[in-house]
Amino acid sequence: MTLSIGQIKYNLFQINETDDDMHLNVDAYLYIGEERAVLIDALQETEELYDAVRRITDRPLELLITHGHPDHAGKAVKRFAEEGIRMWMSEKDFSLYQDFLDDPLPAECFSELQDGQIFDLGGIQLETIMLEGHTPGSAVFLDRKHQYLFAGDAIGSGHFWMQIPGCLPLHNLKTAIENLLEKTEGMDQLAVYPGHRWQSPVQLNRQYIKDTLKLTEMIMDDPKIGKEQEMSMNGKKIRFCESSYGMMLGYCYNPENL
């Protein structure tokens, strides 16, 4: 397991966890305002994430969890709780979080993330936008002033998993992406920072979100456009289809969950 920290901007850090065989490659983001800081997601295996963050900033800190999958709300979450860090996650993902982990924290340890909630870091405001689909409680965080969007897995990372158990039907996702596009109208410089940044060879942007919506519509129109694929997850075989369009390079979906 390797933890590496990249600096996107003087006050914005990408914290990456990669395992040796590259099965796992996930990003968290540390965003530091004039008064406080947030860590967006908590990686999977890296228990020393809290210490890594504290080496960068001593500002008051909160943890924002984009969704309840174990590679975004992993082992480090416990330590953040012990340190008294306020942790936010959508209530709709609590059970998902608890199903995936061997030894999860009780739901009471988390504050309930709400659509429209603003996190004011001092000079930086992050607006919470719920974006269901990948999970029922997926959230993205929008910095309007600097045109950054921290998206977790809600719109994928150049590749997109909508085929696994727990994903909502594509029509739910379609409505949620339409809402995101409405809320980011005119933001031509929007930079998307997803949960698995390595999956796209280019910086994701608003065009990527539009391409994802377009492909969602194309699939709903004709579920057969994708290529049939198979994967195994927790010992179970999952059959799914995969398609691409524009900047969306691999959209995995269940043709029976539209």
Site residues for Zn ion per CB under 5 A: 69, 153
Half-sphere exposure of 90 (CA within 13 A, CB side): 23
Q: Which two tokens stand for residue 92?
A: 């709709």
Closer to Zn ion by Cβ: residue 71 or 143: 71
Closer to Zn ion by Cβ: residue 69 or 206: 69
Tokens 């960068």 correspond to 56
Closer to Zn ion by Cβ: residue 69 or 174: 69
Tokens 């530091």 correspond to 32
Closer to Zn ion by Cβ: residue 37 or 204: 204
Half-sphere exposure of 193 (CA within 13 A, CB side): 25
Q: Report in angstroms how near the CB of residue 161 gets to Zn ion at its nearest.
A: 6
Q: Report in angstroms how near the CB of residue 153 gets to Zn ion at its nearest.
A: 4
Nearest to 62 by CA among 124, 148, 129: 124
Q: Report in angstroms how near the CB of residue 70 gets to Zn ion at its nearest.
A: 9
Closer to Zn ion by Cβ: residue 215 or 252: 252
Tokens 């919506």 correspond to 213
Q: Report in angstroms how near the CB of residue 72 gets to Zn ion at its nearest.
A: 6
Q: Report in angstroms how near the CB of residue 252 gets to Zn ion at its nearest.
A: 12
Closer to Zn ion by Cβ: residue 132 or 153: 153
Distance CA 109, CA 112 (A): 10
Distance CA 1, CA 87 (A): 24
Closer to Zn ion by Cβ: residue 45 or 187: 45
Around Cβ 141, how many Cβ atoms within 10 Å?
25
Nearest to 118 by CA among 145, 143, 90: 143
Q: Report in angstroms how near the CB of residue 138 gets to Zn ion at its nearest.
A: 8
Task: Measure the N-to-C terminal CA separation of the chain; round to a whole number of Å.
Answer: 37
CB 58 within 8 A of CB 43: no
Q: Report in angstroms how near the CB of residue 172 gets to Zn ion at its nearest.
A: 16
Rg (CA), the chain: 17
